[in-house]
Amino acid sequence: MHTRTLGQGLEVSAVGLGCMGMSQSYGPNPGTRDEMIAVLRSAVDLGVTFFDTAEVYGPYVNEELVGEALAPLRDQVVIATKFGWRIEDGKSVGLNSRPEQIRRVADESLRRLRTDVIDLFYQHRVDPDVPIEDVAGTVAELIAEGKVRHFGLSEASAATIRRAHAVQPVTALQSEYSLWTRDPESEVLPVLGELGIGFVPFSPLGKGFLTGTVDRSTSFTDGDIRGTIPRFSEENRAANEALVAHVAELAATKDSSPGQIALAWLLAREPWIVPIPGTRRTSRIAENAGSATVPLSADEVADLDQLAARVGVQGDRYNPQQMSFVDR
């Protein structure tokens, strides 16, 4: 697979792998732990070098899974994990990015990931009770100590990014971005381009909707986060099918899948954008990796740029509680 460079010279595969769904958020995992380890290792065989996890996924078990799977391949991969949640009795109950908490999470994540350094350490959500300068300064100390290589932010505003970057250069921002979630375009993307910070879109396939495998008739199982998101109500799914139909029509002309078109569009936006679609299947990893070679003309990119505005997207990307943790 082609590689791309995020901020501060961090080189990763053009398409990464979001590992969260192997442990939570999308209902029961149909595979066993050993099967998920095999899937993670198959991703490396397919050229994926960038893996995304977090202490809160599970909690904790996703880091353990990623650590076990990638330990034999550690010198071939870049592992990103995150801090910033307060976890009690196995559940996230609020935010906590106090310096002592960041240090504790770093040490525990290193142990679970079976490594001596975290390649990319994101603040998972901006904590309004802790100045971002204190957060950046603490991560800078961890970098100086050799426990962390790079600093990242997630769902941070343009102003927060600037303040953090002034203390410790930010390597990557992670936020939701896709053909139907365009929030970062007005303020965040210009700042990233100006400061030389990479962008790592999560949910680049719209939590499965942009692949065409989810429609108005889909039933979500218990524990599937999509059942809590307004955009995935039956009424909104029905309205949003028009967007996917357009993507599917373009995909058919290129002997590709709708998901590949959605990822190819992201890759065409900027050379420092690296999406991290999640999956539990090696076949999907191969499909997603193939998006890096799907050619889109300038006219096709421009048409996709306008698609959401032209067709319309119904429903918010988060419910009010989820949205309350987004820095705006």
3-state secondary structure 197-208: CEEEEECCCHHH
Query: Would you state the structure tokens that stand for residue 253, as one six-digit string?
Result: 């002309």
User: Which one-letter DSSP state was computed for residue 33?
Assistant: H
Helix (H/G/I), strand (E/B), else coil: 235:
helix
At 311, the pLDDT band (50, 70, 90 cuts) reads very high
pLDDT tier for residue 69 given thresholds of 50, 70 and 90: very high
Q: Pick the closest to residue 55 from 105, 123, 126, 5 (CA basis).
A: 105
| Phi, psi of 50, rounded to the nearest 5 degrees | -120, 115
User: Which member of 26, 57, 122, 177 is catalytic?
Assistant: 57
d(CA 62, CA 35) in angstroms, rounded, equals: 14
pLDDT tens for 203-251 read: 999 999 999 999 999 999 999 999 999 999 999 999 999 999 999 999 9
Q: How far apart are CA 53 and CA 68, in angstroms?
A: 13
Rounded CA-CA distance 47/56 in Å is 27
pLDDT category, 267, cuts 50, 70, 90?
very high
**Structure token pair of residue 250:** 């373009």
**Who contacts 314 (Cβ-Cβ below 8 Å, separation ≥6)?**
231, 235, 236, 239, 240
Provide, rounded to the nearest whole percent, the portion of the chain with pLDDT above 70. Answer: 100
The residue type of 24 is Q
Instruction: Give how far the C-alpha of residue 252 lies from the chain's centroid of Cα atoms, to the nearest Å.
Output: 27
Q: Cβ(40)–Cβ(282) under 8 Å?
A: no
Handedness of CA 74, 77, 83, 85 (dihedral sign): negative
**Count of CB atoms situated within 10 Å of the CB of 6:** 27
Beta-carbon contacts of 209 under 8 Å, excluding residues fewer than 6 positions away, are 180, 231, 232, 237, 240, 244
Question: Is the omega angle on the peptide bond into residue 320 within 30 degrees of 0, that is, cis?
Answer: no
Question: How many whole angstroms separate alpha carbon 207 and alpha carbon 213?
Answer: 10
Q: How confident is the model at residue 244, as a pLDDT?
A: 97
Q: Which of 283, 278, 211, 235 is nearest to 42 (CA)?
A: 283
Per DSSP, 223 falls in state T
The label of the residue with tokens 């209902």 reads 27
Model confidence, pTM: 0.98
Instruction: Please report which confidence band the pLDDT of residue 11 belongs to, taking 50, 70 and 90 as the band edges.
Output: very high
- What are the angstrom distances between the C-alpha of 68 and each of 1, 45, 61, 111, 193? 24, 16, 11, 11, 35
- Helix H segments across 114-233? 132-144, 158-167, 188-195
Tell me the two tokens of residue 327: 């820095």
Question: Could you tell me which CATH number the domain at 3-323 has?
Answer: 3.20.20.100
pLDDT digits (tens, 9 = 90+) for 160-207: 999 999 999 999 999 999 999 999 999 999 999 999 999 999 999 999
Spell out the domain ranges in the chain: 3-323
Classify residue 148 by its DSSP letter.
E
177 is catalytic: no
Q: How many CB atoms within 10 Å of residue 239? A: 17
Q: Which spans in 13-168 are helix H?
A: 33-45, 61-70, 99-113, 132-144, 158-167
With tokens 């505005």, the residue in question is: 309
Q: What percent of the chain has pLDDT over 90?
A: 99
Cα 319 from chain centroid?
A: 19
Question: d(Cα 276, Cα 271) in Å, to the nearest integer?
Answer: 15
